[in-house]
Structure 1
Amino acid sequence: MNAPLVRSSRKVLVAAAIAPPECIRGITRHARAHDWHLVMDMLFTGALPRGWNGSGVLALGAHQPELLAHLQASGLPCVVLTDGDPIVDLPRVEPDHRAIGRLAADHFLERAHRSFAWAPFLNDAANRERLAGFQERLAEHGRTCRLLPPAHTRIGPYWQDNWDDYRRNLAAELLRLPRPTAIFAFNDCTAANVIDCCQDAALAVPEDVAVLGVGNSLVCELSPVPLSSVDDDMTELGYRAALLLESVLSGAGTATRTLRIPPRGIVTRLSSDMAAVTDPRVARALHYIAEHYSNPMLTVCQVAEALGMSRRNLERSFRDETGCTIHENIIAVRMREASRLLRMHPSTKTSDVAGLVGISGVGTFCRTFRRHFGMSPQAHRDWVLRAEAEPPARPRRPQPATAVRMKITAA
């Protein structure tokens, strides 16, 4: 009788007390394809398994110097996934912090902001890199940014936090900012805290303060105002880290000690989804459109009547401030919401999406969608599903052409 076939499987430890679900999803995609056995006990126990001696380690080691030092001393093949300081000499995969900062600056500049601020999480290398990218892109347009206090302070292995002091200092700094100001925060947690402090200080988001985070996490929907966020592509980061460890385990080594993963793009929500305009009448028009875009009877004349202005005068002021017409803005708002609905609810009928964004007739909706995004709603939906399936070599999708071109004014 033939002996049963036993497959050889690498045993890989995921060394982390906590881990982003998207990052674990990327790791498991590679593990399934290469017959890895993932040991993830530490996600539940918070402690490194004693005496563990498998094939290799994937360490999510942000702000865990003792863990990383222990793994380096163990001699086990190890790849670090981190956005913290490079405290050990191990191959590492991290977000491209400068690219994230530049993308954030572009997001605000496209909305005609002139005043900017940075809200750090810590004063570490990752925060400094992200700020540097933000400042570099702003400088290209003659702009600078103010620095807000960090949310946390770490001295050696200890956290020096006083939540009451931080909130009080942050609120004071927010009230000193010119209005409107665009604030870029290191991560979604910091951004949500900024929004919460804005509400305490009676500052409207996004009218007085626009806020952008990083991570596109669940925090975005739970924030006091739905939070816009840079998608830093943690799924790809997890996958590429596993791929790098596979190369090390196979004896191929690694050509680089640090691999940086660029962001996928920005998921825009209410916290930043308004142009920074100086004309209060145009600001009111933008707010009116944001509240009434789902009305299929919404017209340029209706917007002008609601503001008590002539259509001609409002059109002129609107174009001067935003660089686009009122009609183009109505279409852009509807298309952004349609894209969000298709992304968040892929099983929803196209005709239902059309009705929810205020467009009567699925044919009209599809033609408008194609002009705005360069693809049909179904193609857009398919692209989202493919992205969720996480193919091994996902091409970077170019940003769609948009009918709205916000004016960027240099000092």
Structure 2
Amino acid sequence: MFGIAQYIRENRPWSIYFNERSAVEGSPSWIDSWQGDGIITRVATPEIRNTVIHRSIPVVDLNEQLDGLGIPLISNDHAEVGRMAARHLLDRGFQRFAFVGFSGHKYSDGRRDAFIQTVESRSHTCEVYPDQPVEVDLLHKGIWQIELDHLARWVAALPKPVGIMACTDFRGVQLLNACRHANVAVPEQVAVVGVGADDISCEFADPPLSSVVLDAKRMGYEAASLLDRMMQGHLPSPTNMRIPPLDIFVRRSSDITAIANPLAAKALQFIRENARSGINVDTVLRHLGVSRTTLQNHFRATVGKSIHDVLTEARLACVKEMLVETQLSIADISERCGFQYPEYMCAVLKKRTGWSPAQYRAQYGRASTTSDSL
């Protein structure tokens, strides 16, 4: 919608009729008598498709799930989405890969194929979750619960560590639930990347979900531009314009370097889960039942950092998150993030980032502002 609105502001005033509806609702009662000049649609059912394409007005489609409409289509570049997710995981050192999608859906299959091709070009292989083709809306209605055990067993059996792409953020959140169900550590054993960068889904996931950011704004802008030309009498042959993704929004679900060492992986998981509770190096050693020398050697060899450094980084990540997302006081943030003294927390932040807490919050904070979601 934002891209459409931008095009209208920059070019010509339109009178817009916007009807917010479920993607699976039937054809609206008003469409046959509506006296509009053009339609931008996300056709989701054959009924709406037939109604829309038989109107004698220009139409641009933003939903590619139904083939053969015979009208211009603006869609995401699903191949580039898959390649971007693969490169993200390859850059983090993963050598084992897997994909979880919705078989039989064009967008998912396109992302899967490009993901596999990219990792195979680097001499790696990719496992694909053997799901049964099903309508996505049925998964939202509860079939997912039936599938959870199967997905949990599948992810538990994968060789670790493994980088997994999920075809959507919804599928990514399901995969994180399956990992938790199977007692598989994320991201230490399994790193997960979704698609869509939905703020609510990604931030409320446990852990927060990394995701490919789609350029929805440009899709809307290009759709409005094309419809404008069509309404002026320019009738292009049916076209399919594919819009590449913007970037990867990295959150904790993939924010790691691949660790094959099981002892170091367990230590990292324990630190990530408990860093805010004030644990120290001795706490980690007691939890694992090993000597300091043994664990330090494993860390140095596989992580390239000391246990103390990793603890500090985990707490500092919490501090940054709190400064950006909340208006809590420095003392409250220090306590919630596992620092015993606020002064020490401020010194660590300054040393690692060059910013004081106030400067960091002023630069990156958004708790007091309203942001648009994709």
**TM tier, smaller:** 0.7 to 0.9
Counterpart-to-counterpart distance in 2, 1:243 and 1:119? 35
Give the counterpart letter for 1:317 in structure 2: H
Q: Which of 96, 108, 114 is equivalent to 1:115?
A: 96
Q: Which of 112, 120, 127 is equivalent to 1:131?
A: 112
Q: Report if the CA contact (8 A) 1:181-1:210 is conserved.
A: yes
Residue-by-residue CA offset, 1:181-234 (whole Å, 9 max, x unaligned): 332211122222233334444444444443332223233344465433322243
Counterpart-to-counterpart distance in 2, 1:243 and 1:331? 50
Counterpart-to-counterpart distance in 2, 1:166 and 1:316? 41
Q: Scaled by the length of structure 1, what TM-score is found?
A: 0.68
Q: Which of 17, 30, 38 is equivalent to 1:39?
A: 17
Q: Residue 145 of structure 1: CA displacement?
A: 1.0
Query: Counterpart in 1 of 2:195?
Result: 214
Give the counterpart letter for 1:142 in structure 2: S
Counterpart-to-counterpart distance in 2, 1:250 and 1:361? 61
Q: Report if the CA contact (8 A) 1:191-1:212 is conserved.
A: yes
Give the gaps of 5 or more residues in structure 1: 1-23, 155-160, 391-411
Residue-by-residue CA offset, 1:5-63 (whole Å, 9 max, x unaligned): xxxxxxxxxxxxxxxxxxx34434444554333212352775332222312111112x4
Give the counterpart letter for 1:286 in structure 2: L
Q: Which of 249, 259, 281 is equivalent to 2:241?
A: 259
Counterpart-to-counterpart distance in 1, 2:181 and 2:96? 21
Query: Counterpart in 2 of 1:234?
Result: 216
Q: Does residue 50 in structure 1 map to residue 32 in structure 2?
A: yes
Counterpart-to-counterpart distance in 2, 1:151 and 1:343? 41
Q: Residue 119 of structure 1: CA displacement?
A: 1.0
Q: Report if the CA contact (8 A) 2:26-2:45 is conserved.
A: no
In structure 2, relative to structure 1, the CA distance for the partners of 1:91 and 1:100 (3 Å cut) is same
1:8-407 residue pairs with structure 2 within 5 A? 24-31=1-8, 34-41=12-19, 43=21, 46-48=26-28, 49-61=31-43, 63-84=44-65, 86-150=67-131, 152-153=133-134, 166-167=147-148, 169-217=150-198, 218-223=200-205, 225-250=207-232, 257-294=239-276, 314-323=295-304, 329-330=310-311, 333=314, 336-337=317-318, 340-341=321-322, 344-345=325-326, 358=339, 360=344, 362=346, 365-366=349-350, 368-369=352-353, 378-381=362-365, 388=372
Give the counterpart letter for 2:88 in structure 1: H
SS of residue paired to 1:74: coil
Give the counterpart letter for 2:352 in structure 1: T
In structure 2, relative to structure 1, the CA distance for the partners of 1:195 and 1:123 (3 Å cut) is same
Give the counterpart letter for 1:47 in structure 2: S
Query: Counterpart in 2 of 1:5?
Result: none
Q: Report if the CA contact (8 A) 1:350-1:377 is conserved.
A: no
Counterpart-to-counterpart distance in 1, 2:305 and 2:67? 45
Q: Scaled by the length of structure 2, what TM-score is found?
A: 0.73
Q: Percent identity?
A: 28
Give the gaps of 5 or more residues in structure 2: 136-141
Q: Report if the CA contact (8 A) 1:85-1:126 is conserved.
A: no
Counterpart-to-counterpart distance in 2, 1:337 and 1:381? 14
SS of residue paired to 2:272: helix
Q: Report if the CA contact (8 A) 2:189-2:259 is conserved.
A: no
Q: Residue 377 of structure 1: CA displacement?
A: 5.8
Q: Report if the CA contact (8 A) 2:27-2:51 is conserved.
A: no
Q: Report if the CA contact (8 A) 1:335-1:369 is conserved.
A: no
Query: Counterpart in 2 of 1:408?
Result: none
Q: Report if the CA contact (8 A) 2:26-2:48 is conserved.
A: no
Q: Report if the CA contact (8 A) 1:149-1:170 is conserved.
A: no
In structure 2, relative to structure 1, the CA distance for the partners of 1:196 and 1:367 (3 Å cut) is closer
Give the counterpart letter for 1:258 in structure 2: N
- How many residues in Structure 1 have an aligned counterpart in Structure 2? 354
Residue-by-residue CA offset, 1:110-162 (whole Å, 9 max, x unaligned): 443332221112313211210122113212332111111336435xxxxxx96
